[in-house]
Homo-oligomer: A and B are copies of this chain.
Amino acid sequence: MSAASTGDEAIDMTDVDALYKMAEVSRVLRSATSTIEKFVHLASGTNDLTLMHCLVLVHLSRKASCKQLDLKSATGIAPTHLTKLVDELTHRGFVRRHRSSWDRRQIILALTAPGRETALRLLTSLHELTHKTQLNAIEELGSSLKRFVSTTANDEWLDRGSAHTNEVDQLDRGDMIVKPIN
């Protein structure tokens, strides 16, 4: 109920309202996040898994195994945070960590049986409860914001180039020899 919703919707929207909207979207986003997290709570039994935990679980459930590097680029989670998330998931017995014998710098991740079950239950919940409309809503969402950001980012005022290091992940085989660590 910011000042943005006091009359002529998108027509008379002033610049000020952009600020209100930003804050509102940010809040609603948290709300949506916690909604999804509730699904995982129900699916997993624990109440300690966040949206980012879900992301990791779901991504891993799609592949037999996955390099941590690919997980990073696929989810966009900061490496420093990813380490903690995998720590916690490993500690809960959902994920196993291996070290690649091919390139010993890399970590290979794989779900355990309970981890895979949990991920599948989460996906089932999401499938039952989300509808095309919602998915499309989220879809539009991302592109809308990206439009906003890219337009302003190219402006003369902002010299500092935004370090966008988005690389696609495509090169995971998941069939190399690995050894357990943790």
Contact = CB atoms under 8 A, between A and B. Distances in A.
A46 interface: no
B149 A28 contact: yes
B23 A149 contact: no
B16 A123 contact: yes
Interface of A: 1-4, 6, 9-10, 13, 15-29, 31-33, 35-36, 38-39, 42, 51-52, 54-55, 58-59, 62, 73-77, 123, 125-127, 129-131, 133-142, 144-149, 151-153, 155, 157-158, 162, 166-169
B35 A76 contact: no
22 contacts: A1-B167, A13-B135, A16-B62, A18-B36, A19-B51, A19-B58, A21-B135, A22-B51, A23-B55, A23-B75, A23-B77, A25-B141, A27-B76, A28-B146, A31-B145, A38-B157, A39-B157, A129-B152, A129-B155, A138-B144, A138-B145, A141-B144
